Each structure stands twice: as structure tokens, then as C-alpha cells.
Amino acid sequence: MIRVAAVGDIHLGPGSAGTLRPAFEKLHEQADLLLLAGDLTRHGTAEEGEVVAGEVAGLGVPVVAVLGNHDYQSDQEAEVTAALDRAGVTVLEGEGTVLNIGGVHVGVAGTKGFGGGFAGRSGGEFGEPEMKDFIRYTRRCADGLRDSLAMLREANCAVRIALTHYSPVPDTLAGEPLEIYPFLGSYLLAEAIDEGGADLAVHGHAHMGTEHGMTSDGVRVRNVAQPVIGRAFAVYHLPVHASAAVGDGVRTGADTVGAH
Ligand SMILES: [Fe+2]
Ligand SMILES: [Fe+2]
């Protein structure tokens, strides 16, 4: 069993140092890794990036992150990423990483993602160049996610997780105004997850949404925006596929264990 801790939309500002640290320091007692689903800062400044880095440095478990739209607000996303890098956080954008957790290879594929809407209610690559650019950017994010999930499959990962900021499905947006759904996610991300294959998809961004959802192929989706989960982080338990398990002492789960 792999225990995945996840949270997004922590929105730390210059005065936030120490607010999450006490909870994060105990995280290793409950989880094997921590996923950060973007919007880690309020305005995406380098200074705020340092605050986030201070909260998550040296937790004793691997930390993997994607950025969110707020982390791009000040055009300092590279500085935010660098601060997280220095704290040992792996920041993904259209790429994957393989973690060795007690001999089990856990793959995480990540992209911030973008909007566009959901099947039957979505924007398309049509008309003005700005509209084409909007949807093409979402498509590039989705392509990166699909390719990195496929790469993790080839790497024979026992567990694969898709990490985004924007939502792949409308289910986890329930509670948000319908009018803004196209700015909260895109069905292209769900297509990428279903085609690339994953055991769990984690996202943030929709503060008023709902925790639980599912792609059309049955991949469990969890909105871990902090206002949604209402705690420092959520923990999901994922079974390890026997055929892909490596190393000793791995408990394999024949049945899917419900996330909670
Ligand atoms: Fe947010
Ligand atoms: Fe956001």
C-alpha cells in the first residue's frame, strides 16, 4: 500500500511562514509522499516561493509539485520553481518522475494544465488566434501529461499518479458556478489521463468544488484544494500492483482500496 498525501491551493503569502509546518512535520507518520497541486503562493513572487520552500523542506518524504495560476501571477514562476528545487521539491511541468518508496516504484506525472471546459461545453481551436492559442496551450499541457504517464508505464511503475492544478473532470467542480467551469479545467486532461493510464488523479484550483470524482474510464479524481478538504492535507491509500512491485516487503492489494 502506498499512502499519498496531497494538498493544493495553500496560497502562502509573506506572513504565512510556519502555518503549515507543524502539520507537515508529522506527515511522514501517515504518508509516504506529498503531492502539491499548485497555487502554492498568493501572487507567485520569489519571496512567497521561499515561504513555501520553508514549509516543505526536509519532511523526510519525497515532495512533488505542480504550479498553479497564482504561481504565475508575478512572472516569477522560474524563481518559485528554483526555491522549491532548493528545498528538494520536484516541480513537474509536462514531465514525470519515478520515486522509490520502500522498493516500490511510484510514478508521478504532472502539469499545471489549463482551462477550456468539458465535453459538449468546451472551447475549440477555431476563430481568433487568441482562442486558438488558449486551447492549443491546454492541449500541449494534456499532451505532456499523456506522454509522461505513458513513460511511467514503460518504466513499469507499480503506482501511477496524475498531478495537475486544473481539473480533468467536472465532477470535482460541483459547488462552483457553472459559468466558470471553462476556466477551471478541461476534458483534454481527462482524455490524457485515460489514454496514459493512472491509478489516481489529483488536482486543485476549484476552491468551492467537491473532493471526489472519476474519469470516464474510471480513474479516481480527487480535488485537494485546501478549502475543499478542510485540513492540512488529504491521504489516499493506493494498492501496489503485484506484477510491477519490486523489492521485498511489498504488500500487494488484489482489491482496490477506497481512497479517503
Ligand atoms: Fe487557488
Ligand atoms: Fe488556481
Give tens-digit pLDDT for 222-252.
999 999 999 999 999 999 976 554 443 333 3
Indicate which ligand has the atom closest to the C-alpha of 164: 2
What is the average per-residue pLDDT within 72-81? Answer: 98
Q: Is the pLDDT of residue 255 over 90?
A: no
pLDDT at 241: 73
HEC sequence for the chain: CEEEEEEECCCECCCCCCCCHHHHHCHHHCCCEEEEECCCECCCCHHHHHHHHHHHCCCCCCEEEECCHHHHCCCCHHHHHHHHHHCCCEECCCEEEEEEECCEEEEEEEECCCCCEECCEECCCCCCHHHHHHHHHHHHHHHHHHHHHHHHHHCCCCEEEEEECCECCCHHHECECHHHHHHCEEHHHHHHHHHHCCCEEEECCCCCCCCEEECCCCCEEEECEHHHHCCCCEEEEECCCHHHCCCCCCCCCCCCCCCC
Query: Nearest Cα to 102, choosing from 240, 243, 258?
Result: 240
The C-alpha cell of 159 is what?
503506482
Indicate which ligand has the atom closest to the C-alpha of 115: 2
Indicate which ligand has the atom closest to the C-alpha of 166: 2
CA of 250 to the centre of ligand 2 (A): 36
Q: Is the pLDDT of residue 77 over 50?
A: yes
Q: What distance in Å separates the CA atoms of residue 205 and residue 24, rounded to the nearest whole number? A: 21
Q: How many CB atoms lie within 10 A of CB 104?
A: 24
CA of 9 to the centre of ligand 2 (A): 7
Indicate which ligand has the atom closest to the C-alpha of 167: 2
pLDDT at 238: 97
Q: Determine which of 1-5, 25-29, 242-246 has the lowest per-residue pLDDT on average.
A: 242-246
Q: What distance in Å separates the CA atoms of residue 84 and residue 150, rounded to the nearest whole number? A: 26
pLDDT at 120: 86
The C-alpha cell of 147 is what?
506522454
pLDDT at 259: 35
Indicate which ligand has the atom closest to the C-alpha of 72: 2
pLDDT at 18: 96
Indicate which ligand has the atom closest to the C-alpha of 11: 1
* Cβ within 8 Å of residue 46, ≥6 positions away: 76, 79, 80, 83
CA of 39 to the centre of ligand 1 (A): 5
Quote the distance between the C-alpha of residue 48 and its chain's center.
20
What is the average per-residue pLDDT within 71-90? Answer: 98
Greater model confidence, 23 or 121: 23
What is the average per-residue pLDDT within 77-87? Answer: 98
0.85 surpassed by pTM: yes
Q: What percent of the chain has pLDDT over 90?
A: 91
Instruction: Tell me the pLDDT tens digit for each residue of 185-229.
Output: 999 999 999 999 999 999 999 999 999 999 999 999 999 999 999
Instruction: Tell me the pLDDT tens digit for each residue of 30-75.
Output: 999 999 999 999 999 999 999 999 999 999 999 999 999 999 999 9
pLDDT mean across residues, the chain: 93
Q: Is the pLDDT of residue 82 over 80?
A: yes
CA of 243 to the centre of ligand 1 (A): 38
CA of 254 to the centre of ligand 2 (A): 36
Q: What distance in Å separates the CA atoms of residue 76 and residue 56, rounded to the nearest whole number? A: 19
Q: What distance in Å separates the CA atoms of residue 136 and residue 182, rounded to the nearest whole number? A: 14
CA of 144 to the centre of ligand 1 (A): 22
Q: Is the pLDDT of residue 127 over 80?
A: yes
Indicate which ligand has the atom closest to the C-alpha of 10: 1
